[in-house]
Amino acid sequence: MQRASRLFFAVCLAVLLAACDRAPTLPKLSPHDVIVAFGDSLTHGTGASSDTAYPAVLAALTGRTVINAGVPGDTTGTGLQRLPSVLDEYKPRLVLLCLGGNDMLRKQPEAATENNLRLLAKTIRSSGAEVVLIGVPEPKLFGGAPDFYARVAEEMRLPLEDEAFNEVLKDNRLKSDPIHANAAGYRVVAERLNALLREAGAL
């Protein structure tokens, strides 16, 4: 009997550990659910036209309404200020959160950026929407996305895409200037996000 109890405990523990290792999932989006892309110039589509910015391309790929709420120059701090009105206006089911690049350009403390991202995600969740976190690379040669994106994503169980912009901004064919994509680059980002949403179960 004792042996059976130990076996049962081991099986339960294995199931729990497996669940913890799984990538975060998202609820299935209905055809009428709204997605908000919230961010800075990379979301706005600086370096390309509005219809080739990643939110517009993602809307075409997913068949969902994707609102472009990108404001050039936005930081995590200014994003916190405008987020509530965006959530109130569009009432999204899902928010694609892509901020932090301007914090890095302005050499703001990493701890402050990380904490602001955490607050942004909590604000989105408190509105009833889900969050996908998008990391951006540090503005330096061979700079990948800083570790704080992964820390926030892991702590809050958020799906994370932290390679797409890093990949695009390393390729001169995919960017309009050192820190912005071109139309081809934004399409790559949209395709990567479309794949992530499908893997996470949202589509």
pLDDT band for position 143 (cuts 50, 70, 90): confident
In this predicted structure, the answer to whether residue 17 has a pLDDT above a threshold of 50 is: no
Long-range contacts of 136-145 (CB under 8 A, 24+ apart): 136/42, 136/98, 136/100, 136/101, 136/104, 136/165, 136/166, 137/165, 137/166, 137/169, 138/104, 139/101, 139/104, 139/105, 139/178, 139/179
CATH value at residue 104: 3.40.50.1110
pLDDT (tens digit, 9 = 90+) per residue, 149-196? Answer: 999 999 999 999 999 999 999 999 999 999 999 999 999 999 999 999
Token code pair at residue 32: 């009428």
Residues 155 and 149 sit within 8 Å (Cβ to Cβ): no
Structural element, H or E, at residue 67? strand 65-70
pLDDT band for position 23 (cuts 50, 70, 90): confident
The SS3 call for residue 157 is coil
What is the number of domains present in the chain? 1
Q: Could you list the residue range(s) of the whole structural domain that residue 62 is in?
A: 2-199
In this predicted structure, the answer to whether residue 94 has a pLDDT above a threshold of 80 is: yes
Return the pLDDT at 152: 98
pLDDT band for position 20 (cuts 50, 70, 90): very low
